[in-house]
């Protein structure tokens, strides 16, 4: 990313780490400058709804579906980097997928498993203990799938330009830090 103007902000992290909330807030802040948001999670959820598949089955979708969504996200990021408008991309793998794209700021949001479970339970109005078990299982499934699909450990810091705790910093501070890191502070 050195030297290139930031045209793509890639937000990766585990379930409940704040990717979507951060992406939505960034999109609100940057909309007047033409920036838009794309979410691989939204694509998967829409596919599940269309196919009448429960969203918790996303990790077990065929490898081809995961590769298709990832390829579409990569193409969208490349297009934004080349011609604009700016793009805020969120999804577990977008930081990895953004490798080599000039102007891509690749960010990993961290958050403890306990806080992620609390956030998901609140969002989905589900008992915390149920969410903890599902979140632990999903973390293992995701890590295994990404290693199988791409031979990577997606939490490895080498894939990212910036790692931020969305637990230690509130949403406004995460967004302010990202805007500053991207050189988009007015």
Check whether 24 has a pLDDT greater than 50: yes
Tokens for 88, please give them: 């805020």
**CB 26, CB 175: distance < 8 Å:** yes
> Token pair 């988009």 is at which residue?
184
In the structure, what pLDDT confidence band is assigned to residue 1 with cuts at 50, 70 and 90?
Answer: very low
Check whether 41 has a pLDDT greater than 90: no
Q: What is the pLDDT, as a whole number, of residue 59?
A: 81
b/e map 112-142, b = 16+ CB within 10 Å: eeebbbbbbbeeeeeeeeebbebbeebbeeb
pLDDT tens column, 117-126: 999 999 989 9
Long-range contacts of 16-19 (CB under 8 A, 24+ apart): 16/111, 16/115, 16/116, 16/117, 16/119, 16/120, 16/123, 16/135, 17/109, 17/110, 17/111, 17/116, 17/166, 18/109, 18/111, 18/119, 18/166, 18/171, 18/174, 19/90, 19/91, 19/92, 19/109
Averaged pLDDT, 18-31:
96
Check whether 185 has a pLDDT greater than 90: no
Give the whole-angstrom CA distance, residue 174 versus residue 171.
Answer: 5
Check whether 13 has a pLDDT greater than 60: yes
**CB 160, CB 11: distance < 8 Å:** no
> What fold does the segment set 8-181 form as a domain?
Rossmann fold (3.40.50)
Averaged pLDDT of the chain? 92
Give the whole-angstrom CA distance, residue 139 versus residue 103.
Answer: 29
Averaged pLDDT, 94-100:
95
Check whether 57 has a pLDDT greater than 90: no
Q: What is the pLDDT, as a whole number, of residue 45?
A: 87
């Amino acid at each position: 990313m050195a030297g290139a103007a930031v045209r793509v902000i890639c937000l990766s992290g585990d379930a409940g780490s704040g990717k979507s909330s951060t992406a939505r807030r960034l999109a609100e802040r940057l909309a007047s400058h033409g920036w838009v948001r794309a979410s691989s999670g939204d694509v998967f959820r829409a596919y599940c709804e269309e196919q009448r598949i429960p969203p918790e089955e996303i990790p077990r979708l065929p490898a081809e579906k995961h590769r298709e969504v990832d390829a579409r996200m990569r193409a969208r990021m490349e297009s934004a980097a080349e011609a604009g408008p700016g793009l805020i991309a969120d999804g577990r793998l977008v930081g990895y997928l953004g490798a080599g794209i000039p102007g891509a700021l690749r960010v990993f949001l961290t958050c403890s498993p306990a806080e992620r479970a609390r956030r998901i339970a609140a969002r989905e109005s589900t008992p915390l203990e149920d969410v903890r078990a599902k979140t632990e299982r999903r973390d293992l499934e995701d890590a295994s799938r990404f290693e199988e699909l791409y031979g990577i450990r997606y939490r490895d810091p080498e894939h990212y330009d910036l790692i931020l705790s969305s637990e230690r910093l509130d949403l406004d501070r995460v967004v302010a830090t990202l805007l500053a890191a991207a050189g988009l502070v007015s």
